[in-house]
Amino acid sequence: VSIHTGSPETVSIFGRKWIVRDTDGDTLVVEGDGVVGQFPKLEPGETFSYNSYHVIKSESTATGSFFGTTGEGRPVCARIPLFQMQPPLMA
Euclidean distance between CA atoms 67 and 73, whole angstroms: 12
Judge whether 22 lies within some domain.
yes
Maximum distance among all Cα pairs of the chain, rounded to whole angstroms: 52
Q: 59 to each of 24, 69, 90, how far by Cα in Å?
A: 9, 34, 14
Confidence of residue 21 (pLDDT cuts 50, 70, 90): very high
Q: What is the distance, to the nearest Å, from the Cα of residue 63 to the centroid of all Cα atoms in its chain?
A: 8
Average pLDDT score over residue span 18-23? 95
Mean pLDDT taken over the chain: 93
CA distance 6 to 27: 31
Number of domains in the chain: 1
Question: Does 14 fall in a domain?
Answer: yes
> 43: domain CATH number?
2.60.40.1470
Give per-residue pLDDT as tens, 49-80: 998 888 888 999 999 999 999 999 999 999 99
Backbone angles phi, psi at 16, to 5 degrees: -150, 160
- pTM (predicted TM-score): 0.85
State the residue range of the domain holding 70. 2-85
